[in-house]
Amino acid sequence: MLTIKDLSVDHGAIRALHGVSFKVEKGQLAAVIGANGAGKTTLLRALSGLNKASQGQAHWGDHNILHSKPEALVRHGISHVCEGKSVIPELTVAENLDLGALWRRNRKEAVQSKKEVVELFPRLGERLSQRADSLSGGERQMLALGRAMMSKPQLLLLDEPSLGLAPLVIEQIFQSIRELTTAMGLTVLLVEQNAMGALKIADVGIVLNLGSIAAIGSAAALKDDPAVRAAYLGF
């Protein structure tokens, strides 16, 4: 279970998160939605160790995840896919994938993970020796997801995987995320501007507004909540 208590994060003088508290049960997919600048990215970056928290606590299981480095948190099962296509353009597709598993002692399992990723995204399998900057936007997003999967995560932090993709591709990516969550028993925090799409596949929804939680509940309930509809779904 992911437990966040009273979490505040500052960017210099600007407080981006104001004492946020929530829980996500193991195996659940939680959509985090909210307007630009609501603090969604900041939340994920604090959880993966990229940003320092100023206050509060966050636990993944019994492990305290604040004040750790990202490279240490990966080893505790937390993988983060950043905003934008989080791949290394100069490396090949295979190298991008391998990178996520370099730290794993068990090489056999790492090879197995790569097989699974390629099965999930066959288009990556066909392009293993191509440089990542030759991929389309959708393929890059698949690669970013695949790289995260190579670290055998239990908690997956995804920042706007739909950014800049065509509607059809967005649907595919969302579908893959949903399937992965169920098949591998992952816990997922999915940050999205595409609120409707995210709520459709999510179990729970968290609405952030100006760094605080404006609403939280089951995804289905939030989808039908008139206030949420008006403010974030646009109808």
Are 191 and 41 within 8 A, CB to CB? yes
Distance CA 155, CA 63 (A): 12
Distance CA 83, CA 181 (A): 20
Torsion of CA 76, 181, 30, 5, to 10 degrees: -20
Only segment of 8-16, 100-108, 168-176, 214-222 that touches ligand ATP (CB under 6 A) = 8-16
CB of 100 vs another protein, minimal distance in Å: 5
Q: Which helix (H) or strand (E) holds 188?
A: strand 187-192
Q: Which of 28, 42, 141, 181 binds ligand ATP (CB under 6 A)?
A: 42
Q: Which of 30, 34, 135, 162 binds ligand ATP (CB under 6 A)?
A: 34
Q: Which of 16, 58, 65, 157 binds ligand ATP (CB under 6 A)?
A: 16
Radius of gyration for the alpha carbons in the chain, expressed in angstroms and rounded: 17
Are 212 and 18 within 8 A, CB to CB? yes
DSSP SS3 for 152: coil
- Residues belonging to the chain: 235
Q: Which of 3, 92, 193, 212 binds ligand ATP (CB under 6 A)?
A: 193
Of the pair 38, 173, the CB lying nearest ligand ATP is at 38
Pick what 154 binds: another protein, Mg ion, ligand ATP, none; C-beta below 5 to 8 Å, kind-dependent: none
Angle at 65 between CA 70 and CA 97, to 5 degrees: 35
Q: Which positions lie near Mg ion, rule CB under 5 A?
A: 41, 83
Pick what 99 binds: ligand ATP, Mg ion, another protein, none; C-beta below 5 to 8 Å, kind-dependent: another protein
Q: Which helix (H) or strand (E) holds 145?
A: helix 137-149
Contact status: 187 vs ligand ATP (CB under 6 A): no
Q: Which of 7, 29, 39, 143 binds ligand ATP (CB under 6 A)?
A: 39
Q: Which of 35, 99, 120, 231 binds another protein (CB under 8 A)?
A: 99
Q: Going by DSSP bridges, is the β-strand pair 55-60/2-11 parallel, antiparallel, or unpaired?
A: antiparallel
Contact status: 124 vs another protein (CB under 8 A): no
Positions that interact with ligand ATP (CB under 6 A): 11-12, 14, 16, 34, 36-42, 83, 193
